[in-house]
Amino acid sequence: MNVLDQNRPMEIVILGLSLSSSWGNGHATTFRALIKGLAAEGHRVLFLERDMPWYAPHRDMPDPDFCELVLYDGIDGMLAEYGDRLRNADSVMVGSYVPEGPVLIDRLAGMGLRQLTFYDIDTPVTMQALDDGTCEYLAERQIPLFDIYFSFSGGEVLTHLEQVRGAKRAEALFCSVDDQLYPCDPGMPKRWDLGYLGTYSPDRQPTLEALLLEPARRLPEMRFVVAGPQYPDDIDWPSNVERIDHLPPAGHPDFYNAQRFTLNVTRAAMRRMGWSPSVRLFEAGSCGVPVISDNWPGLDELFADGDAIIIAEGTEDVVQGLKEADEARSRRIGQAARETVLAGHTGRARAREMIKAMRTERVA
């Protein structure tokens, strides 16, 4: 049953971790692609972002041209100034990792909003944190408050959210890519044989060690790169691994296009739960760069193993893939990945999925 006018542009308010700064988080690129897609579909978005001191020196998009961005200092002042906008919006979305999330959610839930949703860009991590009692941005009791719980992960986690966690309705909303910003450039010289882009995470590091650092040691004639902040000083980087501390989104396309292969590494909780494609998969795929990835449930249904991606179980798979892949096969894998991304994983495609879910009430 339709609950909103299908032809009228929607007014949406999003309260997310960050849109203005991509430093140390993947939320900004996810929100940017999604909201730009919403704008292309004719919808209007107000993004409310808590002004945090660690993002202030690293704002690589302080004034987006596809939505209205407001930085606020505290919940009380923000609600006093934007309460009418929130109440009049067709839908209000809260993202994961928003500072003081439980307080904010309770306040929003008591405002009589037309529709309140949650976008969990970290679903498996959230579930683990809820179990451990360490989740700072969402309380277990609040899950039933949302009209829709949008999840970064799909598959069985959606059933889990509804049947175990009490969600009224759970919908997959994978991250996506702005394909206009991530073009394929096959003529760019290849600086590296394998690269990785991602902020340091302790539970990703063993996989990065197995799938990039150890292959680098075994293949001293090849060139590798790791880009991302917060890596500890005590990591033993092989001499043929270049380090880039922070690479803003504007530099991502050239970074991908300068690699023969790029590596995707998944956090342990997301790997266990499956169906959690990272934005790296879609960014690299949009650039037509073949991806080597760790394995998790659902990956081979998103990207066909051996055709649109190379799934590696360990070091030997990466070493063999790098040594044996000729240019023609690499190009075919990259092109298949690009076709997959453009067919269903752009920001505009994801925006359509989100709006469809918001406008449709599921019939029991």
Q: Where are the domains of the chain?
A: 11-174+347-359, 192-344
| Residue pair 4/90 in contact by the 8 Å Cβ criterion | yes
What is the radius of gyration, based on Cα positions, of the chain?
20
Give the separation between CA 334 and CA 286, rounded to whole angstroms.
9
How confident is the model at residue 166, as a pLDDT? 98
Q: How far is CA 255 from the centre of its chain?
A: 18
How confident is the model at residue 269, as a pLDDT? 81
Topology alike, domains 11-174+347-359 and 192-344: yes
Give the separation between CA 364 and CA 1, rounded to whole angstroms.
11
Neighbours of 245 (CB within 10 A): 10
How confident is the model at residue 310, as a pLDDT? 95
Q: What is the helix (H) or strand (E) element at residue 196, kind and residue range?
A: strand 192-197
CATH of the domain spanning 192-344 = 3.40.50.2000
DSSP states along 212-255: IIHHHHH-TTS-EEEE-S---TT----TTEEEES---GGGHHHH
Q: Output phi, psi for 157, to 5 deg.
A: -65, -30
| Residue pair 76/98 in contact by the 8 Å Cβ criterion | no
Task: State the pTM of this model.
Answer: 0.88
How confident is the model at residue 362, as a pLDDT? 60
How confident is the model at residue 25, as a pLDDT? 85
Task: Tell me which of 3.20.20.370, 3.40.50.880, 3.40.50.2000, 3.40.309.10 is the CATH number of domain 11-174+347-359.
Answer: 3.40.50.2000
Neighbours of 323 (CB within 10 A): 12
How confident is the model at residue 5, as a pLDDT? 64
How confident is the model at residue 218, as a pLDDT? 98
Q: What is the pLDDT along the chain (364 residues), one digit of tens a residue?
A: 344 567 799 999 999 999 999 888 889 999 999 999 999 999 999 999 999 999 999 999 999 999 999 999 999 999 999 999 999 999 999 999 999 999 999 999 999 999 999 999 999 999 999 999 999 999 999 999 999 999 999 999 999 999 999 999 999 999 999 999 999 999 999 999 999 999 999 999 999 999 999 999 999 999 999 999 999 999 999 999 999 998 888 899 999 999 999 999 998 888 888 899 988 999 999 999 999 999 999 999 999 988 999 999 999 999 999 999 888 999 999 999 999 999 999 999 999 999 999 999 764 4
How confident is the model at residue 197, as a pLDDT? 95
Close Cβ partners of 104 (under 8 Å, ≥ 6 residues apart): 15, 75, 94, 98
Strand order in the sheet with 241-244: 241-244, 224-227, 192-197, 259-264, 291-293, 310-311
Give the separation between CA 150 and CA 211, rounded to whole angstroms.
31
Q: How far is CA 183 from the centre of its chain?
A: 19
DSSP states along 54-88: TTGGG-S-SS-SSSEEEEES-HHHHHHHHHHHHHH
